[in-house]
Amino acid sequence: MKELTGKVAVVTGGNSGIGAAIVLELAERGAQVVIDYVAHPEAENELERKIASLGSRAVGVKADISLVADIELLVSRAVSTFGQLDIFVNNAGIETRTSVLDTSESQYDKVLAINLKSAFFSTQIAARQMIKQEAGGRIINITSVHEDWPMPGNTAYCLSKGGMRMLTRTAALELAPHGILVTAVGPGAVATPINLSTMKDPALMQKLDSVIPLGRMAKPEEIAQVVGFLSGGGASYMTAATLFVDGGLMHQSPGL
Ligand code: BGC
């Protein structure tokens, strides 16, 4: 039997980038998965097919996680389709690459709603369901090195990730008595759609690679494997912590 056989997971933003890799990783480990998406149903369908070929099951749900009612829909679909909820991964995220001087009110609201408000209410709604089941659970927040590390020119994003850091810490303490473990994974630069403009610019790529001690961006699977670990028995004593998966990026030294 695979490690996550019998477990049910929800992954937000599950049909692209890091989210799609997490969906596949959890399914490979035996979990049944609810794939949240907002666009590109064909990518979601393709994932469902791949998961069926792995011998597991997935269902796609079109939901805008910046709305509490849509988060409720994700959890209720997990329960109505697969009978329960064990793992909730707050993965969906956007960035505007704008500074404190030029971020508009609507850009600010959108980034904070999709990245942070969604993680807060998903934690609340997922935890209520897990408490009802009385079998604990895992809530995993995909943050960023920028939960801690400033990124000039991406202020609202940094703010949202810093908020997710404290959500992880605080919710972990509140939910510990229920056996619900709350952790975060903080990726560095990953080859996904969010970094498309950098990836298309060879000079920028060279600059980026030169500041990453491991010398390259991560593949989405390299982040997903860590989420797989945090979902399983090997991480039974981990809560309130972030695992940074950044190739050493946050600790680079100018070598002076
Ligand atoms: C951001 C990327 C950035 C990377 C490393 C990620 O969280 O989304 O835009 O390249 O961090 O700084």
pLDDT digits (tens, 9 = 90+) for 95-113: 999 999 999 999 999 999 9
What are the tokens at 145? 């090195």
User: Quick one: pLDDT band at residue 255, thresholds 50, 70, 90?
Assistant: confident
Secondary structure class of 190 (helix, strand, coil): strand
> Is 157 noted as a catalytic residue in this protein?
yes
- Residue whose Cα lies nearest atom 8 of ligand 1: it is 194
Q: Is 194 in the pocket of ligand 1 (CB under 6 A)?
A: yes
* Count of CB atoms situated within 10 Å of the CB of 225: 17
- Residue whose Cα lies nearest atom 10 of ligand 1: it is 189
Q: Is 144 in the pocket of ligand 1 (CB under 6 A)?
A: yes
Looking from the CA of residue 195, the nearest atom of ligand 1 is 9
Contact (CB, 8 A) for 224 and 25: yes
H/E segment holding residue 41? helix 41-53
- CA dihedral in degrees (24, 30, 34, 36; nearest 10)? -20
- Residue whose Cα lies nearest atom 4 of ligand 1: it is 189
How many separate helices (H) and strands (E) can be counted in the chain? 9, 7
pLDDT digits (tens, 9 = 90+) for 107-147: 999 999 999 999 999 999 999 999 999 999 999 999 999 99
What are the tokens at 131? 């408490």
pLDDT digits (tens, 9 = 90+) for 175-207: 999 999 999 999 999 999 989 999 999 999 999
pLDDT at residue 256 is higher than 80: no
Secondary structure class of 66 (helix, strand, coil): coil
Domains of the chain, earliest start first: 8-193+220-243 (3.40.50.720)
Look up tokens 């994932």; give the residue: 47
User: Quick one: pLDDT band at residue 254, thresholds 50, 70, 90?
Assistant: confident
User: Which of left, alpha, beta for 141 (phi over 0: left; psi -120 to 50: alpha)?
Assistant: beta
